[in-house]
Amino acid sequence: MNRSIVLALTAATALAQSWTSQLFPRVNGKYSTQAVTFAGRQWALDDYSFAGYYLGARSPGSVPCNVKTVTAVGDITSALQAAIDAVGKAGGGIVRIPAGSFTLSAPVDINYNNVSIEGAGSGQTFIDVPSNYPSPDPHYDGLFTFGRTFGKSNHGWVQTTTAVTTVLAVVQRGDMQVDTADASSIKTGDWIVVQQYFWPALTAANSQPPYPWTPNNWAFSFTYLRQVTGKTGNRVFLDAPMPWTLDPANNPIQILAANTDMNENLGIRGVSIHFQNNIGTDADSTGQPAPHGSAVFFEGVRNGWVDDVSVSNFPRRGIHVLYSARVTVLDSVVAGAQDKNGDGWGYGILTENSQNVLIKRCRSEQGRHNFITLNPLTSVVVLTQCLSRSSTQPDDTHFAFVQAILWDEHVQQAGGALFGLDRGTQSDGAWQTLASGVLWNFSGDGTSKNSDGQSITWGGEIHISPSPDGNAIVVGGPGADAAYDRSDESTTPALHGQLMARAAGLQVGTGPNALRNVLYEGLGQTGLQPASLFETQLANRFSPPPADWVNACAAAPVAAAGSLGNAASYGGGSVSPGELITVFGANLGPVGGAALQLDSSGLVSTNLAGARVFFDGTPAPMFYAAAGQVSAVAPYEVAGNPAASVLLEYQGQRSAAFSIPVAQATPGLFTSDGSGSGQGAIVNLAGGLNGAGNPAARGDIVILYATGAGQTSPAGVDGLPASPPLPVPVATVEVRIGGVTADLLYAGAAPGYVAGVLQLNVRIPSGITPGAAVPVQLLVGGAASQPGVTVAVR
């Protein structure tokens, strides 16, 4: 494999000059949240890393390895439900649907804990839903219904009625503790609900007749599910931050005993679902019969997941998360709504009355709203690295007072738009819809036409206007989107608000009635680092962060310290910053192998087909992964450390960690056959690859490639393709050919190649003895490359 390393790495394209936000700068080698005072108020980012399955602390799929495979063919509805029941009643496990095409003629419900439904992959397991598909509840069911028994709703944590105590002091946004009147009945490990009803002044400021909000009602409240991690006296410690400041002077703050009816730790992955056109008994807003049913539906679920699921031609909603908490939707696609006329139809991925939800690397297209968050009980929803395309109406926050919504590396195409604002002038009963949120590094093509060529109102635009009681932050935005501040609708045209300038600095709306509660930074500026706010905050909490998915029945990777070596020389014993390394072992990656990929920011991805390598908890850029071998780039973060702890992971299973010394430099020269010895991977400047059939003349210039030169100036950036100013090694560099020190014309990063690849332009010494195999040696800071590498000289 190593024979093609350098050529493979040329697939990476250079990034533009990077920049960091004043709100999240790099301090002492780590991105850290910093409060910024601007326009008369203080701004700070919430910690969004507490979104998703087990608040980001575990990998989805963690169920018992108790496998039951569906063996039926054709219509598998009964067989699938029977397998779910059998596994669920046994305490949990995996229900496998093999590769092939099947029919589900009715929905199945998964009302158990610890159940994973797993197909062979969204491109291998296909499920067809016929047109006569029945719907037990047209509004609230799914082909796969998790947590809810058909015919019985499960509002889970939000409609709990047993109050155990009250909160006496103000709970600040970001707090992970509450001071109660009496915590004697609360134990560590308990699930509780912190709840404060909206009060009349809040509802009056954010809604109006004929559809005013209802104060002192659970449906209009700040309501948060938390697990108790400890207590000291009457102070109770919580497992996740509070996303909104609660003041008992506004309304009492109650601590409730959480409902125990929630199902936990269940989900689905690896299937494609296609619906035939169907017509239900409900009528849409025009009075016409409307389609019914959703593909995947959660209600009353705690810690669930949807992974690698593809949904096409969905009737009502694609993936719907309702009255649930701590759910991850990963690498899934929802495309094509049967009905886009309104009344809740045509939503691709919908988060409703749910909290701490993570939607990651998903695509939704040709829906009414592709991505949507709904209702005041919704908080801490992260949409990261997702693509929205060709919707008839914007992606948005929707109805009431959703809190702490993060649109992270979100991409809009073909008429897509993004709203986080007051919809009171546009949608009956919706009124104020965004309490707080962040748009980080969003981009789009700026077009107002969908994929069918139809013009879409607000297409290619960003509209932001949070509640007067809230705020929002917009950082970056390298695409062609036009960003409008909607806090002042006295501007012309009123429905657009103020077009914000594409500028590097900080700004707020400047209209005469602007609330100045949206901070904009770096609009139109490319190269924002970190590219993903969520991923970086998660890595700050966990070192290393959990895998996206764990194969509960897989064997753990096996590797040892002696199996790690330089990818060019295979020499081991130590590692240097930026060194391309190879590790040999077992269960390290996919059997068929996988080669380098770029992430959404143009960096070499740190996750390759489920394989990752960590150095001191930092994920390494990956350029090859197979069952017996993985190759990666040692992170520059190891510089200056005496040793690094190395950990390998595949499909969520992890090896035992081992330690390896860190050296200033560990040089290795690439060879033409990838063996680490013999003819070097050398290019004659005069033309062609160097070799016995194409030797270089004495005095000619040749180009060598190596790795392991250590830290550079400017400092190396993990996974970054080299671009001007080209980094050069900090340590001294020398090349010897035939035992003679060669004239070194250039020693630095190879343009367009990933950081860690060293290019050396050297002149063949005139006084050496020619031959087909003249020895070549590289020395960096006194450390020598492997012996046995040669160059052909005539």
pLDDT digits (tens, 9 = 90+) for 543-558: 899 999 999 999 999 9
Give me the pLDDT at residue 16, please.
45
Alpha-carbon gap, residue 375 to 220, rounded angstroms:
8
Alpha-carbon gap, residue 579 to 575, rounded angstroms:
7
CA nearest to 364, candidates 345, 392, 388 = 388
Q: Mention every residue, 6+ apart, whose C-beta is less than 8 A from residue 44.
A: 23, 33, 34, 35, 36
In this structure, what DSSP letter does residue 50 have?
Answer: G
E strands, 487-610, are: 498-499, 506-507, 518-521, 564-566, 580-584, 594-595
Cβ contacts of 684-691, under 8 Å, gap ≥ 24: 685/761, 690/791, 690/792, 691/792
Distance between start and end Cα atoms, the chain: 30
CA nearest to 402, candidates 386, 419, 389, 416 = 419
Count other Cβ atoms within 10 Å, centred on residue 543.
Answer: 12
Structure tokens at 505: 């600095």
The secondary element (H helix, E strand) that includes residue 702 is strand 701-707
Alpha-carbon gap, residue 172 to 44, rounded angstroms:
13
Contact 57, 546 (CB under 8 A): yes
Alpha-carbon gap, residue 360 to 534, rounded angstroms:
10
pLDDT in tens, 592-630: 999 988 887 778 999 999 999 999 999 999 999 999 999
Domain layout of the chain by residue ranges? 163-257, 668-793
By three-state DSSP, how is residue 55 classified? helix
Enumerate the β-bridge partners of residue 473.
Answer: 438, 519
Q: Mention every residue, 6+ apart, whose C-beta is less than 8 A from residue 480.
A: 444, 445, 446, 447, 460
Please report, as a single letter, which amino acid is at residue 35: A
Give me the pLDDT at residue 509, please.
93
Predicted model pTM: 0.92
Helices and strands (DSSP H and E) totals, the chain: 4, 64
In this structure, what DSSP letter does residue 186 have?
Answer: -
Structure tokens at 272: 């494609």
Contact 460, 444 (CB under 8 A): yes
Q: Residue ranges of the chain with pLDDT lower than 50?
A: 1, 3-16
| Cα separations in angstroms, 316 against 142, 146, 278, 354, 537 | 10, 17, 10, 19, 34
Kindly list the strands in the beta sheet with 163-167, ordered across the sheet, starting from the edge strand earlier in the chain. Answer: 163-167, 253-257, 191-197, 221-232, 235-238, 177-179
Give me the pLDDT at residue 419, please.
85
Q: Does domain 668-793 have CATH number 2.60.40?
A: yes
Q: Mention every residue, 6+ apart, whose C-beta is less than 8 A from residue 226.
A: 191, 192, 193, 194, 238, 239, 240
Q: Mention every residue, 6+ apart, whose C-beta is less than 8 A from residue 371.
A: 348, 349, 359, 362, 364, 383, 386, 388, 395
Q: Mention every residue, 6+ apart, whose C-beta is less than 8 A from residue 459.
A: 415, 416, 417, 447, 448, 449, 450
